[in-house]
Structure 1
Amino acid sequence: MKVTPIYKIITGLFLLSIILASASYVNLHVFAASSGSTIGSVAVEDLSDGEVKKQLNRAINKWKNSELSVLVGGEKVLLEAEDFQFNSDESISTYKNRTAKPWYAFWRKTPIVHEPLQVSATVSLVEKISEHTKQNSDEIASQVLEAASYLRKFPLKIKDADFSIEDGERISFQAVPVKDADLSNIVALAKQLDGYIFEPNKPFSFNSFIEQEEINNDRSLSLMASALYSNVLQSSFEITERHQAEEIPTYVKPGYEAIVSPFLDKDLKFISKGTVPAKIAATVSGNELKVSLYSLSGSPEVLVYEKDRRAIEPRTIYRYMSNLAEGDSKTVEKAKPGLQVYIYRTITDENGKTENQLMSQNYYHPINQVIETSAKQTAPIDNSSEPTTDGYVENQQGTDQGLGEPQQEESTSQQPMPSKDKNSKDDSELNSSKEPQATTSKNGGSVPKGSHYNKTGDIVTPNDSK
């Protein structure tokens, strides 16, 4: 009896185990799928190829019988089952190729695969999207097919498709001069803003948009915000928050600026009320920032204008300074007029309907002139009257008044008069001794000796007293 070597027996057993394992693998691969795998979100675990196809067709028919619609920027587009073409056989074949493994790697586990259904769009689907949305129909159709390949529930809300500058039309433009100190900040902000798409009915906050940029310069931020606001003002966007400058701006027209400050909680906010997206283009050339707003066809026409523009005249303010020499003065702040201006816009839609809107009431306070002058001033001289040679002043009313003469109160006339006796003097003698002596008349002529001025300024002669 011939004895078989032990190594041949071991080799034969090893080959036999490989053959059995391969047969088991082939049988499992052909008639069942790996645990947890799906095709078009349909579970294909423990199903044969025929059963998988039945499950897929049943799920596709159920999906087609549901309401198929797409929401694009608030516009609803109704679709039909005939707009989609599914290929179940191709889907299964692709799935099997992805889960296949070499016969000799029988120890490996079958991978879990989530394979989308093979589906294509008909011409009618693209035409419906293009007709109703006026946007990039190819991009939107791609999003619709992706949702259909996993049999997702409709209505489907489509993200607004991107579009190139060549696809849209420029609806506004603003150029802003940039100082060297702000140039690096503006370049960084322009790179972040360039190409940004404003989706319809989605609020936009400038402070939230730039919070990722480490820029704490309010002047630079306000410069960029003003360029953006100037463009948005010329569109149909609804502006929900905007702050004006305190002084008349020089980098944009008054009423077109927007001051922002994250620290002071001053923001620029707006929202697009149109049905098509808008796209920003922002570049810096030399020391000039250029910002444009583009939109696809369908945007309304907008006219921006101003009314009630008037200058606000400044005042002159004097400051009396004790440290200035008498008669000295200097201007420490020059005067600058203020301004009041109201900004309006008129929006005309594609049907010819117009709407007038008051966008802002802007008031820029004037800068008053400030003059510092010496507080050491000489007492003012009354030039309305001239002194005469006898010490009296003749005023413009034509009455004479004695200088240095004590003021007599009216109540003295009510005092009792002294009684006359033989030793008392008459009024002329009494007045002549108390009243100032008159040497000449008012016209320059001579007067009798003993003449004097009475209390009313008239000349009394000795004959008048008799």
Structure 2
Amino acid sequence: MVCLLIPAQSYLTAFADEKRSNGSTIGGIDVSGLKDQEIKKVLENAIDEWASEPIVIRGGGEELSIDPQEIIFDIDRAIDEYRDSTDKPFYLFWKSEEVVHIPIHISDSESIKEQISYITIWDTEDTYKRVLAQASYLESHEIEAVVTDTTQLENERIALSIEKIPANTKGVQALAEELNEYILEPNEAFSLLTVLENLTDSANTEGLNFVGSMIYNTVLQANIEIMERHAQKELPGYLQPGLNVSVDAFSEKDLQFINVSKHPYLLKMSVEGENLKVELYSSVKDVTVRVSVQQQTIAPRIINRFSKDLPMGSSRLIQEGKQGLRVTVTRTMTDSNGEEKTEEISRDYYAPTNRIVLKSAIQPKESAEEETGPNSGNVDNLDLDGNGLPDFEQNNNKTDGNSNQDKDKNKDELPPGSYYDKGGNLVTS
């Protein structure tokens, strides 16, 4: 039997956090203060429990299940290494015991290697090392394979997006290199901030937004469900309205989506001259996608401001107006059976920019004729008594009074010997 030795130092921080303890561990199991036989018993029980579930390796749309019983653990060798690392000479009795974290050594398995080699798009050696690394610390049974050959995933190009890189962006090249050849497995969730966790400082906000928008525009054309997306506050100079993305680690604005198809997708990104090219491939095109963008314009308002500093009758434009938009994005997917499914993806609102005009507050003076005209003293429907009603009745009463006075005056001027009888008839003698 050939024994595969795994150096302890290379795995000092490789075990799962949930198994971490304050004392020394072997295979992620706390063994501090235990004797050799006790350690062996504890490790055997832990291995039996771990081996009760199959090991599943996934990558590039392929999956392989391995029986954990095929993994041969060398417990005795792990204990010997533990003692060599923690035992101290008698003259250093005053020093505390050194804390170490050691993997359980695993014997080499040609059978497991052979099974992995059947998946031609996987790197056999690197994938095999991942299996040993996780098994030696009794970690998760799900292992991600190292995919080297992605040619079979490039059978169908699902989507293509090409846009000129805006001048105010920074770090687009670095982000594209990090995301290039990314494989999105079936039922796998994607988080842009998580994938670019170590590179967010390499790009500015405009660069992150541009790359995120290009990815969003591309994956919309595939059988991918959008989980989180935030629109930019203002329309950028690229893509159609409603297809942009705002990404910000500080405010936790992320772009997240999940592959709901049965096949993996291969995301390819490259900078070609002044353009960013984003492609999405798959081995099979399972749906046909049509993305529709509906726009409704919003007219800007006109806001007038006044100033005494401007000459009479003049005006000055402070801010030019710009139309706003209401944008609705819908997506229709048609499967191989001809069944259609239409869903509303997003509704965005981009506020209009109001037109602001500064006008003179100086008004022209009224002419003397307007001030002293024959009718200047006449005011119709004036409310002088404050009762909310026009005072025309009072004016009419005043008119009637004047009429009576005129009548009395006329009466005084009757011819001598003439008078009015009871019927109002003029009688002359």
Range into which the TM-score falls when normalised by the shorter chain: 0.5 to 0.7
Per the normalisation by structure 1, the TM-score is 0.55
Give distance in 1, aligned partners of 2:196 and 2:116: 37
Q: Aligned ranges for residues 139-288 of structure 1 at < 5 Å?
A: 157-159=142-144, 162=147, 164=149, 166-169=151-154, 170-182=157-169, 184-213=170-199, 214-215=201-202, 217-288=204-275
Q: Aligned ranges for residues 398-413 of structure 1 at < 5 Å?
A: 402-405=375-378, 409-413=392-396
Report how far residue 139 of structure 1 moved. 5.2
Report how far residue 230 of structure 1 moved. 1.0
The one-letter code of the counterpart of 2:250 is F
Name the structure 1 match of 2:418: none
Give distance in 1, aligned partners of 2:298 and 2:205: 27
Report how far residue 195 of structure 1 moved. 2.3
Paired residues of 2:171 and 2:203 also in contact (CA < 8 A): no
* Offset from partner CA, 1:335-354 (integer Å, 9 cap, x none): 22222232122233445543
Q: Aligned ranges for residues 41-440 of structure 1 at < 5 Å?
A: 70=56, 72=58, 114-119=106-111, 157-159=142-144, 162=147, 164=149, 166-169=151-154, 170-182=157-169, 184-213=170-199, 214-215=201-202, 217-295=204-282, 297-306=283-292, 308-378=294-364, 391-392=373-374, 402-405=375-378, 409-414=392-397, 417=401, 425-426=409-410
The one-letter code of the counterpart of 2:377 is G
Paired residues of 1:298 and 1:350 also in contact (CA < 8 A): no
Per the normalisation by structure 2, the TM-score is 0.59
CA 1:350/1:146 → structure 2, altered by over 3 Å: closer, same or farther?
Answer: farther
* Offset from partner CA, 1:144-199 (integer Å, 9 cap, x none): 89969x9999x9645255254533232112122223442x4212222222222223
Report how far residue 234 of structure 1 moved. 1.3
Give distance in 2, aligned partners of 1:421 and 1:345: 89
Give distance in 2, aligned partners of 1:338 and 1:314: 7
CA 1:140/1:245 → structure 2, altered by over 3 Å: closer, same or farther?
Answer: same
CA RMSD of aligned residues (A): 4.8
Paired residues of 2:122 and 2:146 also in contact (CA < 8 A): no
Q: Which gives a bigger RCO, structure 1 or 2 (Cα 8 Å, sep 6+)?
A: 2
Give distance in 2, aligned partners of 1:419 and 1:356: 85
Give distance in 2, aligned partners of 1:378 and 1:279: 73
CA 1:406/1:234 → structure 2, altered by over 3 Å: closer, same or farther?
Answer: closer
Unaligned runs of 5+ residues in structure 2 are 7-26, 28-51, 73-103, 381-390, 414-429
CA 1:353/1:164 → structure 2, altered by over 3 Å: closer, same or farther?
Answer: farther
Give distance in 2, aligned partners of 1:166 and 1:75: 14
Paired residues of 1:174 and 1:290 also in contact (CA < 8 A): yes
The total of aligned residue pairs comes to 318
Name the structure 2 match of 1:59: none
The one-letter code of the counterpart of 1:310 is Q
Paired residues of 2:232 and 2:245 also in contact (CA < 8 A): yes
The one-letter code of the counterpart of 2:340 is T
Give distance in 2, aligned partners of 1:409 and 1:377: 33
% same residue: 29
Report how far residue 68 of structure 1 moved. 7.1
Give distance in 2, aligned partners of 1:126 and 1:290: 34
Unaligned runs of 5+ residues in structure 1 are 1-29, 42-65, 89-111, 131-135, 393-401, 430-466
The one-letter code of the counterpart of 1:192 is E
Larger Rg: 1
* Offset from partner CA, 1:7-50 (integer Å, 9 cap, x none): xxxxxxxxxxxxxxxxxxxxxxx9xx9xx9xxxx9xxxxxxxxx
User: What is the DSSP-based 3-state SS (H/G/I as helix, E as strand, rest coil) of the residue aligned with 1:119?
Assistant: helix
CA 1:162/1:422 → structure 2, altered by over 3 Å: closer, same or farther?
Answer: closer
Give distance in 2, aligned partners of 1:113 and 1:243: 48
Paired residues of 1:119 and 1:145 also in contact (CA < 8 A): no
CA 1:420/1:410 → structure 2, altered by over 3 Å: closer, same or farther?
Answer: closer
Report how far residue 261 of structure 1 moved. 1.7
Give distance in 2, aligned partners of 1:285 and 1:349: 33
* Offset from partner CA, 1:295-331 (integer Å, 9 cap, x none): 2x23422423225432222222211223322222111
Name the structure 2 match of 1:397: none
Report how far residue 276 of structure 1 moved. 2.9
